[in-house]
Amino acid sequence: MKYAGFTTRLQEQGIIGGMVRNNFGIENGKLIVSGDVGNSFLHRRMAATGAPEQMPPVTRNLHVKETLDLI
């Protein structure tokens, strides 16, 4: 993944359609799939409350519905 800072254009960040290291059994999954939360790993990991998918794995055990709706 390229740098995903505020000054980097979204198309250049490599987030939308970006590859993931572990697909957790979902074929064709990407970091963010526009319009498809089922194949979007960012959404999936943010919504997870258990290992190994939970993000971040140490300090978080509940998700915030408003945040997930935004993503």
How many structural domains is the chain composed of?
1
**In which domain, by residue range, is 9 found?**
1-71
Query: Which amino acid, 30?
Result: K
HSE, side-chain direction, 13 A CA sphere, residue 56: 2
Per-residue pLDDT of the chain (71 residues; tens, 9 = 90+): 566 677 888 888 888 888 888 877 788 888 888 888 888 888 888 888 777 777 765 555 556 677 777 76
CB atoms within 10 A of CB 13: 16
Q: 18, exposed or middle or buried, with CB in 10 Å at 0-12, 13-18, 19+?
A: middle
